[in-house]
Amino acid sequence: MKYRYLGNSGFKVSELIYGNWLTHATQIENEAAYATVHAALEGGITTFDTADVYANQAAEVVLGEALKGQRREGLEILTKVYWPVAERKPNDTGLSRKHIMESINGSLKRLQTDYVDLYQAHRYDVETPLEETMQAFADIVRQGKALYIGVSEWDAEQIRAGHKLSKELGFQLISSQPQYSMLWRVIEAEVIPTCEELGLSQIVWSPMAQGVLTGKYLPGQPVPENSRAANEKVNSFIQKLLTDEVLSKVQELKPIADDLGITMAQFSLAWVLQNKNVAAAIVGATTPAQITSNLGAVGVEIPADVMTKVSEIFASIAVTDPRETKAPETRLV
C-alpha cells in the first residue's frame, strides 16, 4: 500500500480507501462484511469511508463492529452528513447546525469512536446559509469530534465559498469526494483546478463505475448472478450504464489491461490514481478476494499513450460537463 497527503495538510490516507456504501447491512451479511474489512486491513488499507445515510445508519454500525479492537490511531475513519436519515423528520436532513451537531454525535456512537478523522458534507445544502454550516463544522473541529473537514459533490463555486469561510473560521477544507472514472469525468474542467489552487485533493467514489469497468458485464448477455446489477436492493445506480454501447467500449480495455499485466478492475483504479489531485480511490467489496485483487492497482504507472487511448475509446460517451455536479434542489427527497 502507498499513502498520500490529503489536501494541503499533514494528514495521510491510503491510496485505496475501503468504502461500505452499498455493501454493509444491504448487500452482504455482517460476517462477510467483517471479513472484507479484515482483508482490507491485512492489505495495508488504513482508511475507511462510510456515511450516516448508508443503510440508514446501519452501515456505520457494521463498520464500527468490524474495526473493534484495532488501534484507533492507526486508522483513518471518514463519514458524512446531509441526506435524510432515521425517521426523516424535518431536521433529520441537510446541513443545519442542528442536524450536523446531532449527526456527528450519532455517527461517533455507531462507529464506537471518540472522533472521526474526516467529516464530510455529503452534498451542498441550498436551504441552509453556508455560514451556519461552516460554523458548525468549525465547532466540531474545536470540540475534537472531527480532525478535518471535507465535502462531497460540491461544484467549484461552492468549494471556493466554503474554503473562504473555513479560513475565516480558523480551519481548512482539505478534501472533495466526487464521482470519478473513465466514464464520468465532470470534475476535470473546474473542480480539480479549483481544488489544486485552494489546497484540496480528491477522494473519488465509483472509480470502477459501479463495477462496469471491471468487464464482468458483457454486451448482449444477462448480468452475472450475485453481481450488483442483479441485486434489486442496490442496482438502481448501475442500470443506465448497462447499454450495449457502453459495455462494448469497456471491452476494448481488456487487451490494454492485459498488456499492462493487470485486471480491468485494477486498470480502472490505477487510471484515477494517475491524476495528481486524486489522493485516493474508494473501493467496495463483497468478498475478501475482491479487496485483495484491488490492491494490485497500487503503484501501477499507466503510460501517457495508454491514457490517451482510454480517452479516445470513451470520447463519445464519457460525461464531462461540469454542470453535472449538482446540489439537490431541496433537502427533503
Residues taking part in catalysis: 54
* Closest alpha carbon to 280 in 222, 203, 208: 203
69 vs 62, 79, 108, 320, CA distance in Å?
14, 19, 16, 43
Q: How far, in Å, are 204, 280, 297, 303, 331 from residue 271 at the CA level?
A: 12, 11, 9, 10, 34
Pairing between strand 3-5 and 76-81? unpaired
User: 75 near 68, Cβ under 8 Å?
Assistant: no
Are residues 137 and 174 in contact, defined by beta-carbon separation less than 8 angstroms?
no
Q: At 99, phi and psi to the nearest 5?
A: -70, -40
| Cα-based angle 304, 291, 7 (whole degrees, multiple of 5) | 55
CA distance 134 to 120: 11
